[in-house]
């Protein structure tokens, strides 16, 4: 019984010398486990595309085949990058948000044509209507 207990302790604490037969057996068991374990045991699923952010939506209406208008919630932009008029930095930020969140634009080359801020009564920006080409 003592020999069995000693073998269990040595296995748990990996105290066999490298090159000994118990060491080799443990390595083979680990390799077989890694290669033969079904993927679903560990919930290893391929990554799926992230769902579109709720703050971005296509504006219905007069969207031609070349241009589309998207409404972006201002809270998706950091406060220091929100502006009441179009700036290159605002254009870059809205371009990045649309490229990440809109499946039709993801991986495609597009250009921001126009940014129209929609202001609250207090003068703060609520949304941006961004037209892309």
One pLDDT digit (tens) per residue for the chain, 133 residues: 898 998 889 888 888 889 999 899 999 999 999 999 887 787 766 655 444 457 898 888 766 678 889 999 999 998 888 888 888 999 999 999 999 888 888 888 999 999 999 998 988 899 999 999 8
- The pTM assigned to this predicted structure is 0.57
Report the C-alpha gap between 70 and 60 in whole angstroms: 9
Domain ranges of the chain: 2-42, 56-132
pLDDT for the residue 24 = 92
Report the C-alpha gap between 25 and 34 in whole angstroms: 14
pLDDT for the residue 49 = 44
Interhelix angle for 21-36 vs 2-12, to 10°?
A: 60
Would you state the structure tokens that stand for residue 128, as one six-digit string?
């941006």
């Amino acid at each position: 019984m003592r020999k069995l207990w000693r073998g269990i302790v040595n296995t748990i604490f990996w105290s066999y010398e490298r090159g000994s037969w118990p060491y080799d057996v443990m390595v083979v068991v680990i390799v077989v486990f890694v290669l033969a374990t079904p993927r679903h045991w560990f919930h290893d699923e391929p990554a799926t595309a992230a769902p579109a952010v709720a703050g971005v939506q296509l504006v219905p209406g007069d969207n031609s085949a070349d241009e589309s208008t998207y409404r972006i919630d201002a809270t998706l932009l950091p406060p220091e990058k929100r502006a009441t008029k179009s700036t290159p930095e605002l254009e870059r930020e809205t371009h990045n948000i649309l490229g990440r969140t809109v499946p039709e634009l993801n991986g495609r080359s597009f250009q921001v044509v126009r940014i129209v801020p929609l202001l609250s009564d207090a003068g703060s920006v609520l949304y941006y209507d961004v037209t892309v080409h």
